[in-house]
Structure 1
Amino acid sequence: MRVPVVQHHSRRRRALGRRALWTGGEFLVTAGVVLLLLVVHQLWWTNREARRGAEHQVHALERQWATQTPAPASTPGGAAGTAPSANTAAGGGSSSHRSANTNAGTIAAAPHRSQAYAILTIPRLHLRVPIAEGVSKPNVLNKGYVGHYPGTQQPGQAGNFALAGHRNTHGEPFRYLPSLRLKDTVRVETSAATFTYTVDKILPQTSAADSGVIRPIPRSIVRPSYGYSRPGSYVTLTTCTPEFTSRYRMVVWGTLTSTRPR
């Protein structure tokens, strides 16, 4: 009977193979855990922190308005400048520091870049969030705020008051924007007045570069059947679509229907 001879190099090969498999398994498990933590951070932690910060800012504005003395009326400023591209969901930009002429008859100073200065309320969505100047991701949108496109009009003014907000992560204030229906109301509160807009047009999907949707007379340049043909006082809400992508934009428009001074 022959006794099998085990070569040392064969043993080493098997040991190295087992070690490589073990190391590869550990790497895959670690990578899986890291990816899971990243998903949890994006889908839960950023929402939690942004919503908490946005709620705190809403309360801060309410306290500020409750204690301030209304500013005296002054001469209205000029019209808004050129509207930016609708795909500038990041990058911010400053507005001109002119006076804002509201229908309430009160002139308020234009906000500084990234300054929270108004509150957006959408009853159907149970939404109440701050509006800040600009659409910078780190300074506005990622804080759970809704951002005002620089160059578009301010609340209550003739023209287009255009806003952007995240649909997913970082507070996702516009997560349920597709739930809005015609005749729903959108309220914008400032230190001067509360402006109520009534939703009357919805564009389910357009190009991220469709700058027509935030022009003074908003009308899609990609889908021209959507939009307005006459001057008016409009609000525009924009967000990414479909969910978890930024390939297209969804747009909701409303027309100013009432103004209530503070």
Structure 2
Amino acid sequence: MTALRPEHETGAPYGRAAESGPSYGQQPYEGAGAWHEGQEWSGYEHPGDGGAGQVGAQPYGQRTQQTPYDATTVLPSYDEPASAPSYGPPAPRDGSMPLRGLVDDETVALRATDVGAARLAADRVGGAAPAPAPGGRAARRKAARRHGRRGNGPRTAERPAEAAETALGAPRSRMEARRAARAQKPGAAVLVSRLVGELFITTGVVMLLFVTYQLWWSNVRAHQEAGSAAKHLQQDWANGRREPGEFAPGQGFALLHIPKLDVVAPIAEGTSKTKVLDKGMVGHYGEGSLKTAMPDAKAGNFGLAGHRNTHGEPFRYINRLKPGDPIVVETQDTYFVYKMTSILPVTSPSNTSVLAPIPKGSGFTTPGRYITLTTCTPEFTSTYRMIVWGKMVEERPRSKGKPDALIS
């Protein structure tokens, strides 16, 4: 705290000039009532000859009634001789007294404050507080600059456990390292879940590849094979190579034209899925109990089957045919032209009566030269069958050129 002033030799009140000499301190800078360095405020209103709010208005010999800053603080008596005036900060204007010994030669209080603040900051970030540097203020500043060289502030550990471990300087034991390694290994439940997830992903990829094969690649392959079969068939016709009236299963013998749907597909004997239909060709019902007539027969029903989806899908859009739309069968010597007459959208796969010489449900009542197209429905399923019928309207030799249905 600020040291008390010694009494003036003359006993005059502090702050006024005595007759025999100057008072302790300095003369007033701007007259009576001004504050001087080393003087003490006793309050804004004190009775005395100085008036209210005047410095030094109370006689020096009387005690100023002030409340101590702390009950443990011992104030020296006014009667004790003062060895030397202290040049610390003046007393606060509110009448309180500063702590005794706030400033000393080694600034002990400042060091304690710095250490406490550092520990508080370390606790907030979860790290260990840096140890105070030994020595004076210059040594601490040098240590602080060296400690914060790599950043704007003190470096802290990312995890409190690692910070404490680093601060203690104790490395992790082998047992603790093994426990940590075992903790990092996935458990049985995690491994099972990963295996199930990989199986699902693999299954999904396989299904995606299968769908891509069915909807895209199978059509590509079927179009290539059907195109090759049609080309070879036309080359044989051009070279005059004749075939017997009966054809082997899977052997091509004619071409089917549906101008409205832009379909040109080879017709092969039989309805085998692998040998005929999956190769993009149209199959003729010519075997067993489902054997139907050939186009050149004087009467009968020429029955054909084809895929509606995948593998070339030649019959995909036969549901768009309207009565009167042409359907042409081209053989080695003749063009057979049919006109679409009726359609049966849905029927059972076991309904073979649609292939009879007089097809049931077609609307025909007398024998004639008919054509029947069969395919699966709905799309991408084989649950039911769709049937399209037509009646022959023209038989034209190839020597007379193409029919009008193919010239447009």
In 2, the alpha carbon distance for the partners of 1:156 and 1:181 equals 25
Query: Is 1:32 aligned to residue 204 of structure 2?
Result: yes
In 1, the alpha carbon distance for the partners of 2:387 and 2:349 equals 11
Q: Tell me if structure 2 keeps the 8 A contact 1:70–1:192.
A: no
Aligned partner of 1:235: which letter? I
Aligned partner of 1:189: which letter? E
In 1, the alpha carbon distance for the partners of 2:208 and 2:241 equals 50
Match of 2:215 in 1: 43
CA RMSD of aligned residues (A): 2.1
Match of 1:144 in 2: 280
In 2, the alpha carbon distance for the partners of 1:156 and 1:174 equals 23
* Identity in percent: 47
Match of 2:384 in 1: 248
Query: Is 1:154 aligned to residue 294 of structure 2?
Result: yes
Give the gaps of 5 or more residues in structure 2: 1-178, 399-408
Query: Is 1:200 aligned to residue 341 of structure 2?
Result: yes
Following superposition, the deviation at residue 139 of structure 1 comes to 0.7
Match of 2:226 among 23, 47, 54: 54
In 2, the alpha carbon distance for the partners of 1:132 and 1:142 equals 12
Give the TM-score, by structure 1 length.
0.77
Relative contact order (C-alpha < 8 Å, sep 6+): which is higher? 1
In 1, the alpha carbon distance for the partners of 2:242 and 2:347 equals 41
Q: Which has the higher strand share?
A: 1
In 1, the alpha carbon distance for the partners of 2:315 and 2:273 equals 15
Question: Which stretch has the larger CA shift, 15-24 or 204-213?
Answer: 15-24
Match of 1:233 among 369, 373, 376: 369
Q: Tell me if structure 2 keeps the 8 A contact 1:199–1:253.
A: yes
Match of 2:330 in 1: 189
Following superposition, the deviation at residue 156 of structure 1 comes to 3.1
Q: Deviations over 1:193-226 (max 9, x none)?
A: 0100000111111111111100111114xxxxx4
2:271 partner SS? coil
In 2, the alpha carbon distance for the partners of 1:156 and 1:122 equals 19
> Which one has the largest radius of gyration?
2
2:191 partner SS? helix
Match of 2:67 in 1: none
1:128 partner SS? strand
Match of 1:130 among 257, 263, 266: 266
Count of aligned residue pairs for this structure pair:
216
In 1, the alpha carbon distance for the partners of 2:360 and 2:185 equals 70
